Structure 1
């Protein structure tokens, strides 16, 4: 009887250990990877890259004299061009797009080319100011035909 009790106890201990280990593995997801292409003289790009890394993105950087071929190969219209372009999964990310918007894009997986923040709005990631000024801006969802629609508004109301 005590052997049966001991075997049962070992079985429960083993099952509990496996359950905890499985739960820990499920919670430890790999960081999303983003490849950033930037121009050589851009300081705001470095700020955006820091923002992505602080948000948990595994970020690699490639410096190029021009990003036109990267953008055009991914379907980003020149009207939305910026000084840096990110590639994450099947999506392109153009300009100062907040990391939370990229995470939402990866969660929702819309039929789109990617996201863009046109211009260089003050207060967007990489464009922070010493006085904390924030210019309202929109993150746009870029559709396959080049049209856009608002994906997020910042600062959010």
Structure 2
């Protein structure tokens, strides 16, 4: 178990490293860290794959260290943590909708990542209701800075 954790943390460190080569949309990779028994996470993974992302999954029993290393605070936590490689590394925490990921890849803001805290009903993987209203928050990874609204799901 300790070897698995070290391997996963090493993979996370590599995924979050500042060095990275530029990729086109069709080559963007999402590395997902999730628990093996989480069905809603698997639905999210499959939706990302269907949207054209190359998705690599690491099933782990405990994601505490992954979330800590990714800069995800307790208030932002959800059931899985992912790293999106756009040539720049972004953290995707939880059931982030595809539209928010697309906004992130087109705008490429100077942030650590985006999060859908908790498991909002109707979010991608939790029923996928396009009318469900919840916020996707941007965060910097700096505990002193409050997250800001990045995307408002269900708002027309």
Provide TM-score, normalisation by structure 2: 0.75
In structure 1, list runs of 5 or more residues that go unmatched. 1-27
**Counterpart check, 1:54 vs 2:53:** no
- Return the offset for 1:54: 1.2
Q: Show the counterpart of 1:138.
A: 135
How far 1:30 moved relative to its partner? 2.8
Q: 2:69 aligns with which of 50, 67, 73?
A: 73
> In the TM superposition, what are the counterparts of 1:7-156 in structure 2 within 5 Å?
29-89=25-85, 90-128=89-127, 134-146=131-143, 147-156=146-155
Cα-to-partner distance string for 1:89-135 (whole Å, 9 max, x where unaligned): 21110000012211221221111110000111111111117xx5853
Structure with more contact order per residue of length (Cα contacts < 8 Å, sep ≥ 6): 2
| Structure with greater helix percent | 1
Structure 1 residues 29 and 102, CA gap change in structure 2 (3 angstroms): closer
SS at 1:76's partner residue? coil
**CA deviations over 1:128-155 (Å, ceiling 9, x no partner):** 17xx585310110112324200011110
Aligned to 2:3: none
CA RMSD between the two structures: 1.8
Q: CA deviation at 1:69?
A: 1.0
Residue 55 of structure 2: SS of its match in structure 1?
Answer: strand
* Larger Rg, first or second structure (1 or 2): 1
Q: SS where residue 150 of structure 1 aligns?
A: strand
How many Å separate the matches in 1 of 2:25 and 2:96?
Answer: 22
How far, CA to CA, are the matches of 1:107 and 1:119 in structure 2?
Answer: 25
Whole-Å separation in 1 of the counterparts to 2:25 and 2:114: 23
What residue ranges of structure 2 are gaps of 5+ in the alignment?
A: 1-23
